[in-house]
Amino acid sequence: MVGQHESVADADAVGWRFDNTYTRLPSPLFVPSTPARVREPRAAILNHRLANELGLDLGARSPEAVAALFAGQVFPVGSQPIAQAYAGHQFGHFTMLGDGRAILLGEHRTPSGRLVDVQFKGSGRTRFSRGGDGLAALGPMLREYIISEALAGLGIPTTRSLAVVATGDPVYRESMRRGAILTRVAASHLRVGTFQYAAALGDESTLRALADYAIDRHDPELATDPRNYLEFLRAVADRQAALIARWQHVGFIHGVMNTDNMAIAGETIDYGPCAFMNAYDPGTVFSSIDRGGRYAYANQPGIAQWNLARLAETLLPLLSHDPDEAVSLATEVLDEFPARFEEYWLAGMRLKLGLQSAEAGDIELVQLLLDWMQKSQADFTNTFRDLSAEGRALGDPYRDPDFLAWQTQWHERLAREGRSPAEAAALMRTVNPAVIPRNHRVEEALSAAEDRDDLSVLHNLLAALASPYDYEARPDLARYQEPPTDERGYRTFCGT
């Protein structure tokens, strides 16, 4: 590569501290891979805030050197690029997969000692590309940047976006588009599908090595537990219950909850046909490929449990030598999931209504509000924001008799806690966002970037999303709080 020695020094000076723990696993789980050469790398956006958290200084090198780094034209010292193997149930159908357009550079050690994966997405073909070109277009990569950073701002566990680099090469999809590479940071890229791949190999030693690695990486306290694999399954299930509840609290719809898109670490991963719900409707679907509503908003908890059942199936040989006992142990964990999810969901919904104690009728109180919202086609985010507005009169939609009846019950419930609506509002403003990445605003930002090479719209949107719970001090947020006038027919795409 041109200028490789100079650029390697640049990459090293950024502050990387790489390890390559995944490459110590059995070889069937990965293959060495090299990013494709690109014509003219140019940084579209760099996440300096995240870089600082990771102990990296992107400003220490020239823009050209940073662009070359995040385009995969040079490698940080100590990195060892690979493509990971995994499988997945995609819309219920099992397929052997792998990183078809992603390359893991390795694991970076942060100043706090935390180990995080650093991965390129859209960096060219690998052995797992299955006929695809392994490339990505600028719009979908910027979309992942926006939505993942929005979830981070909301406090929801997520992979993060460190950089998007335009490659200067065309990518051919439904039309010719500008190529780009995303750099993604994750607690790890271990997925339910990773375990499905290992199990499908039929080699218990490989499966055990993967499970031990996952425990060491994400649940090290379980390493000496005699029931470590069972408790690992329970820990993954608990993380997923908490994560999906957080999605539901803000109206986030992942759109493609295949098993290869469920991360063992409990982070949101892969932002293809994802979107945020505006008018409350449990059946909301935005994905162009989800024609049957498998991954609709209301179905996300059930799909999470279904995916966990697939994980449990892979772990059966490790749970017990007795197949019946293994099934019984796994089933016990899976059966706990609905109650665990409801516990997380209801706790979060109580906070959204300013409640800090628990009463038996709370779930009915919440459901009455949601039923009214669905009947009234009320905006999910703005309804909770309006309820959080201390001392402000609510508008015409809230004069509906059904809402007023619910409001009376809510105020009575607050009174039983000895708290006024004003006191409750202070709590509510910390959990009910004023701003989410509204679909029309996201499309507006992507169109400006792709069509006019104007990233100012995207930067303004990101600034609004960085502090989504900050209400009164942000008069500039008004345009980002407005739902679209008509979202019928709006669809999102996987971006592959």
Q: Which of 260, 270, 290, 379 is catalytic?
A: 260
Clarify whether 219 is annotated catalytic.
no
Phi/psi of residue 467, nearest 5 degrees: -130, 70
Structure tokens at 456: 């100012």
Give the residue from 261, 265, 327 showing the smallest Cα distance to 294.
261
H-only helix segments in 251-322: 300-319
* CA pair distance 416, 354, nearest whole angstrom: 12
Give the residue from 437, 425, 426, 427 showing the smallest Cα distance to 466.
437
Name the CA dihedral angle for 468, 469, 472, 473, rounded to a multiple of 10 degrees.
-60
Contact criterion met (CB below 8 Å) for 118 and 185: yes
Structure tokens at 379: 């905006």
* CA pair distance 382, 422, nearest whole angstrom: 18
Exposure of 80 by Cβ count < 10 A (0-12 exposed, 13-18 middle, 19+ buried)? middle
Structure tokens at 390: 């201390």
* CA pair distance 162, 296, nearest whole angstrom: 29
Contact criterion met (CB below 8 Å) for 297 and 170: no
Q: Identify the residue whose tokens are 């180990």.
A: 115
- For residue 250, give Cα distances in angstroms to 149, 233, 338, 367: 14, 26, 19, 16
Phi/psi of residue 321, nearest 5 degrees: -75, -20
Residues designated catalytic: 260
